Amino acid sequence: MFNSLSLLLGLASPAMNTTRLGRTGLKVSRVCLGTMNFGPQTDEETSHAIMDRALELGINFFDTANVYGWKKGEGWTEQILGRWFEKGGGRREKVVLATKVYGAMGDWPNMSRLSALHITRACEASLRRMKTDYIDLYQMHHVDRDTPWEEIWQAMETLVTQGKVLYVGSSNFAGWHIAQANEIAKSRHFLGLVSEQSLYNLIDRTVELEVIPACKAYGLGFIPWSPLKGGVLGGALQKATEGRRTADFQLKKIEKHRAQLEKYEALCTRIGAPPGEVGLAWVLQNPVVTAPIIGPRTHEQLDSALRAAELKLTDDTLKELDEIFPGPGGPAPEAYAW
């Protein structure tokens, strides 16, 4: 179990390797703790225990969003993090804290998206909820096509100057959006985007066309969300048999990919590694990937992520995974042209 005294004294020895977040000097763990389930699915006591365990394992990168908790305007998940930080013991200082802005925090105009007004108000509210003076990585949860980049960057620059935000990232951006945002930031002599968070796993590989190449070209850290496709790549066939994955939407995903999953799980058995660890290891072997986001419900799932970060897949295994889950064929335009 977690030794709270060792954390309090700063004596816990992190087991997980770190890497730089894109072109920055910021060091983060090779997996990122996702908190989306904290509140709606995982109660506060368990959420706090998971975060304590994450620190014990050396996971220092935590991701949340102001809309998580799914009670409009309340920031339920951010509040859970704030009460955990409030316990002290160096928790806030050890964590690289990432949250997001864009989603609706109320029904009135200017309570969503990326106007300078909403960015400023949303940041202040997140700081209050999480009981912190600064956000390490402030991410735009989606692109806002109606707000000019000059306005967005002016707001972000102000927050950085005030010390309330240290780095700015994006989420669910296209490659073109990354290029556009960073070119305008460059013209303003501003650091710009340092990371992109996108859907990426063995099944969902569209970002290989343009998003990942854009991240590589501009020096962005790439943070995959749903690296196991909501558990489908975590041994779903066996778990479905055991009755652990009975939700209709989950069963539909499993049936859609059953033929591939049968081959995948057979491969995992053959190489002697659990499917969930193989799926995470595959994502981590992409050199542009900084840290996939995991959403553990138990300590064992956290330990499993640690093992995945150490698992190296052979070239033969990678080739077989590509045959089971073929991607788009590489970056654009070569993937669809000569």
* Cα-based distances in Å from 270 to 43, 265, 273: 37, 9, 8
- Neighbour-count burial of 110, counting CB atoms closer than 10 A to its CB (0-12 exposed, 13-18 middle, 19+ buried): exposed
Domain boundaries defined on the chain? 4-324
The pLDDT score that the predictor gives to residue 239 is 75
Catalytic annotation, pick one of 68, 102, 218, 264: 68
- Listing DSSP states for 182-239 in one string gives HHHHHHTT---EEEEEEE-SSS--GGGTTHHHHHHHHT-EEEEESTTGGGTTTTHHHH
127 contact partners, CB below 8 Å, separation of at least 6: 133, 134, 135, 164
241-253 pLDDT per residue, tens: 554 445 677 888 8
160-190 pLDDT per residue, tens: 999 999 999 999 999 999 999 999 999 999 9
**In this structure, what is the dihedral angle of CA atoms 121, 125, 128, 134, given to the nearest 10 degrees?**
-60
Tokens of 318: 């990678």
CATH 3.20.20.100 fits 4-324, yes or no: yes
333 contact partners, CB below 8 Å, separation of at least 6: none
Phi, psi at 31, each rounded to 5°? -130, 150
Tokens of 104: 């609706």
pLDDT band at 240 (very low <50, low <70, confident <90, very high): low
Q: Respond yes or no: is residue 68 known to be catalytic.
A: yes
In terms of pLDDT, which residue wins out, 104 or 299?
104
Phi, psi at 205, each rounded to 5°? -120, 15
Please answer whether residues 290 and 221 qualify as being in contact, where contact means their C-beta atoms are separated by less than 8 angstroms: yes
Sign of the C-alpha dihedral, residues 22, 191, 62, 232?
negative
> Rounded to two decimals, what is the model's pTM?
0.93
The pLDDT score that the predictor gives to residue 43 is 95
